[in-house]
Amino acid sequence: MRNLIFTIILVAFAGFAYGQQEAHYTHFMYNNLALNPGVAGSKGHPTILALYRKQWIGFEGAPESKLMSFHTPLGKRVGFGLSITNDEIGISNSWYGSMAYAYRVKLDDNATVQIGIQGSMRYLGLDFDDPSTFILQNNDPSIIEGGVSQQYLGNFGAGLYLDLGNMFFGASVPYFFPNTIGIDKTSIDAAVESPHFYISGGALIPLSSSSKTSIALRPSALAKIVNNAPFDLDLNLSLVFNNSIITGVSYRLGGDGQGESIDFLLHYRINNIGLGISYDYTLSELNNHNNGSVEAIVVYDFIKERVDMANPRYFF
């Protein structure tokens, strides 16, 4: 059993880090503050978000993520944001906290650009005292036998967010510094955090509108670029019904040739609250060893009255 758990942990790390070291989210179109500090305050009102992700159900030791964020405008030009994230993978338990500041420049009546920076702190913990751990090689300098490895790392990042009314574009690097992580930092094989470059975009396209029914198309995309890693891309196409029900499908590039996953999303808005859930169907060879991934999200917008389809900030 110990050998099995250890193997699963290694595979989970490898699969999760294949295209990235940072967590990915199916609800990226709502959870954009976690990727881009330039988003802070962009909705024009305070917003709070909570997210839970369980990856590869049935895969013991698989990634599990929890996140909360808050951002708000401060006056006409400044945005402020806070976020905290917890990621668990096998014996690894990591916490991330960040604070974002964004400055808004109005380009014309329908376009604004926000320039954002953020500072962050990370706690990275490995519990080698976990009873499920099985040490294959004694005296390995990368392992603390019967102990806990703890690290605290600081970093900073920056991002741009362009709002064109019915469209948006973003570019960001949330963490600039390539911190060395792990226990044995002197080895040439020591693990190093790689900066992640994100490029995102989306639009809200009205298809029909009447006194009883309105339908809009909402395409969005997220590209991730990491040095010495395969190119990652999420493509989403959603339909918005009556400004309340949003249903969509995403394709995540990666895996072993045919893609990483096909994702199905359902989001429902009632007054100021948005409730969303998604299911990822694994396309890679890991499909034989798990039952997919699930993600749930809650968004609350602090606004006095509901906005209409003319304001796409309600849907991003």
Provide the CATH number for the domain around residue 259.
2.40.160.40
The residue with greater pLDDT, 185 or 88, is 88
How crowded is residue 3: how many other Cβ atoms within 10 Å of its Cβ? 9
Q: What is the pLDDT of residue 187?
A: 58
pTM score > 0.85 for this model?
Answer: no
- What is the total count of domains within the chain? 1
Confidence (pLDDT) at 22:
72
- Per-residue burial over 25-43, b if 16 or more Cβ lie within 10 Å, else e, is bbbbbbbbbbbbbbbbbbb
Query: What pLDDT, in 10s, does the model give residues 55-64?
Result: 888 887 788 9
Of 16-30, 122-136, 215-229, 250-264, the range with the highest mean pLDDT is: 215-229
Cα–Cα distances (Å) from 79 to 27, 29, 233, 309, in that order, read 22, 19, 28, 23
The string of pLDDT tens digits covering residues 235-259 is 999 999 988 899 999 999 876 667 8
Across 72-100, average pLDDT: 92
Domain region containing 203:
2-315
pLDDT in tens, 155-179: 999 999 999 988 999 999 999 888 7
Confidence of residue 20 (pLDDT cuts 50, 70, 90): very low
User: What's the pLDDT at 124?
Assistant: 85
Least confident of 15-19, 67-71, 117-121, 151-155: 15-19
